[in-house]
């Protein structure tokens, strides 16, 4: 059985509601915009994929900020982390969102940049909680001799290892699942503006 047939068995048998290419893009845009400010939005957590040194590498991150005018998404991380090492070697990343209730998947291809320390500080200042995530004594992924050693924090919190990754969108792909006809579309960006929109076979 084709995987889409399997998925569609979970869907309501509602009537087909056609969305234009513009509708699909606007919906994705609105969802990403909302998620950047609403911690309960399903797009708040996304899979962030880098080109690892040996395997492709994926991890969950929080969408922290979205700049719709420049098509930029922002995530926070520890500057010492593996994902930062990866983007310094190859800045191509993909970001994957899924909203189970709306049955929509959004895949973004982007170029990632780690912001400089001075450019990260305003984000650090606005961060209300969770600063310990960027203040472990040892770098993320260090092999520790004990759990206590693994979670040990620096004596005082600072922004030294706090990093902001900016993702400049190259491509956005939407898959809207519907029992009566899935809709898949690709949107390509060039120099921060929409360059092309096209339907794809789901």
Residues that bind ligand FMN in the complex, under the rule CB under 6 A:
45, 57, 59-62, 75-78, 81-83, 140-141
Minimum distance of ligand FMN from residue 116's CB (angstroms): 18
Q: Max CA-CA distance within the chain?
A: 59
Minimum distance of ligand FMN from residue 55's CB (angstroms): 11
| Distance (Å, whole) CA 154 – CA 168 | 32
Query: By C-beta, is 31 or 50 nearer to ligand FMN?
Result: 50
SS3 17: coil
Q: What separation in angstroms does the CA of 161 have from each of 39, 106, 141?
A: 23, 30, 14
Query: By C-beta, is 85 or 184 nearer to ligand FMN?
Result: 85
Minimum distance of ligand FMN from residue 97's CB (angstroms): 13
Minimum distance of ligand FMN from residue 101's CB (angstroms): 18
Query: By C-beta, is 62 or 127 nearer to ligand FMN?
Result: 62
In DSSP terms, 164 is beta-bridged to 76
CA-CA-CA-CA dihedral for 116, 165, 59, 199, to nearest 10: -150
Query: By C-beta, is 70 or 141 nearer to ligand FMN?
Result: 141
Query: By C-beta, is 65 or 182 nearer to ligand FMN?
Result: 65
Minimum distance of ligand FMN from residue 20's CB (angstroms): 33
The three state secondary structure string of 83-120 is HHHHHHHCCEEEEEEEECCCCEEEEEEEEEEECCHHHH
The bridge status of strand 92-99 relative to strand 104-114 is: antiparallel
């Amino acid at each position: 059985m084709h995987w889409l047939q399997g998925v569609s068995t979970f869907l309501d048998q509602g009537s087909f509601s056609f969305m234009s290419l513009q509708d699909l893009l606007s919906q994705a845009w609105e969802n990403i915009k909302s998620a950047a400010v609403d911690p309960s939005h399903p797009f708040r957590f996304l899979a962030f994929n880098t080109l690892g040194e040996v395997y492709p590498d994926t991890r969950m991150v929080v969408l922290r900020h979205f700049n719709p005018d420049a098509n930029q998404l922002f995530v926070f991380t520890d500057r010492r982390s593996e994902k930062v090492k990866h983007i310094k070697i190859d800045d191509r990343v993909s970001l994957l969102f899924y909203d189970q209730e709306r049955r929509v998947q959004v895949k973004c291809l982007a170029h990632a940049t780690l912001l400089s320390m001075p450019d990260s500080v305003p984000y650090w200042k606005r961060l209300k909680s969770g600063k310990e995530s960027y203040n472990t004594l040892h770098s993320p992924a260090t092999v520790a001799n004990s759990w206590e050693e693994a979670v040990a924090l620096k004596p005082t919190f600072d922004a030294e290892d706090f990093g902001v990754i900016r993702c400049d969108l190259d491509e956005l792909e939407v898959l809207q699942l519907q029992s009566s006809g899935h809709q898949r579309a690709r949107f390509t960006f060039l120099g921060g503006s929409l360059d092309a929109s096209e339907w794809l076979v789901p």
